[in-house]
A and B are shown apart, each in its own frame.
Chain A
Amino acid sequence: MSSASVEVAPRQTVRTGAEAARLRRDLRRAGRRRQLAAIALVLPLFLFLMFSFLVPIADMLRRSVVDPDLAAAWPNAAVVLRAWDRSSPPDEAMFAALGRDIRASAEARTIAGPARRLNYALSDGRSLVMNTGRALRKLQGEPASWRDTLMSEDPAWGKQKTWIALAHAAGPLTDFYLLTAVDLERDAADRITSRPPDQSLYLTVLQRTALMSVSVTLLCLLLGYPLAYYVANAPARSANLLMILVLLPLWTSLLVRSAAWIVLLQDQGLVNDLLRASGLTDGPVRLIYNRIGVLIAMVHVQLPFMVLPIIASMKAVPPAYMRAAVSLGAHPAIAFFRVYMPQTFPGVAAGTLLVFIMSLGYYVTPALVGGANDQMLAYFIAYYTTSSANWGLAAALGVLLLVATAILYALYARLTNLGQIRLG
Chain B
Amino acid sequence: MRHAALTRTEVVAGWVLRVIAIAVLFFLIAPILAILPLSVNDSQFLTYPLRGFTMRWYEAVFSSEKWRIALKNSFLIGIPATLIATVLGTLAAIGLQLADFRGKAVLTALLLSPLIVPIVIVAVGLYFFFAPLGLTQTYTGLILAHAALGAPFVLVTVGAALASFDRTLARAGASLGAAPLVVFRKIMLPLVRPGVLSGALFAFATSLDEVVIVLLLGAPHQRTIPREMFSSLRDNFNPTITAVATILTVLAVFLLLAVEWLRLRNERARRKLDAAPVQE
Contacts and interface: CB of A to CB of B under 8 A. Distances in A.
B265 to A, nearest CB: 13
Contacts of A53: 113-114, 117, 122, 125, 148
Given A243-B260, A259-B241, A419-B156, 10 more contacts: A43-B95, A55-B129, A56-B125, A57-B117, A227-B20, A255-B233, A260-B34, A260-B35, A364-B230, A382-B124
Given A332-B7, A363-B212, A262 B21 contact: no
A186 interface: no
B272 to A, nearest CB: 18
20 contacts: A46-B92, A46-B107, A51-B144, A52-B145, A53-B113, A57-B125, A223-B24, A229-B17, A230-B22, A252-B249, A253-B226, A253-B248, A259-B242, A360-B118, A361-B119, A385-B216, A419-B160, A421-B156, A423-B157, A423-B198
B95 A39 contact: yes
Contact of B96 (A38, A54, A362, A405): A38
Report the 5 A-B pairs with minimum CB-CB distance, sorted nearest first. Answer: A361-B118, A41-B95, A230-B21, A56-B129, A56-B125
Interface stretch (A137-145, A162-170, A266-274, A343-351): A266-274
Interface string B122-162: 11111111100000000000001101100101011101100
A203 interface: no
B196 interface: no
B99 interface: yes
Interface residues of A, number: 99
A260 B237 contact: no
Given A3-B175, A56-B125, A252-B32, A409 B116 contact: yes
B119 A244 contact: no
Mostly, the A contact residues are helix
B233 A63 contact: no
Contact of B35 (A3, A48, A57, A263): A263
A71 interface: no
A44 B126 contact: no
Interface of A: 3, 31, 34-35, 37-46, 48-49, 51-60, 63, 223-224, 226-227, 229-231, 240, 242-249, 251-264, 266, 268-270, 273, 300, 303-304, 323, 326, 332-333, 357-358, 360-364, 367-368, 378, 381-382, 385-386, 391, 394-395, 398, 401-402, 405, 409, 412-413, 418-421, 423-424
A245 B248 CA distance: 17
Interface residues of B, number: 102
B263 interface: yes
Contacts of A362: 118
Q: Which one of A34, A244, A260, A402 has the greatest number of beta carbons of chain B within 10 Å?
A: A260
B191 interface: no
B118 A44 contact: no
A419 B108 contact: yes
A229 B21 CA distance: 8
A229 B38 CA distance: 34
A226 B122 contact: no
Contacts of B229: 253, 255-256, 259
Contact of B99 (A31, A230, A386, A420): A31
A412 B45 CA distance: 45
Contacts of B257: 244
Given A405-B117, A413-B109, A48 B84 contact: yes
Contacts of B27: 223, 300, 303
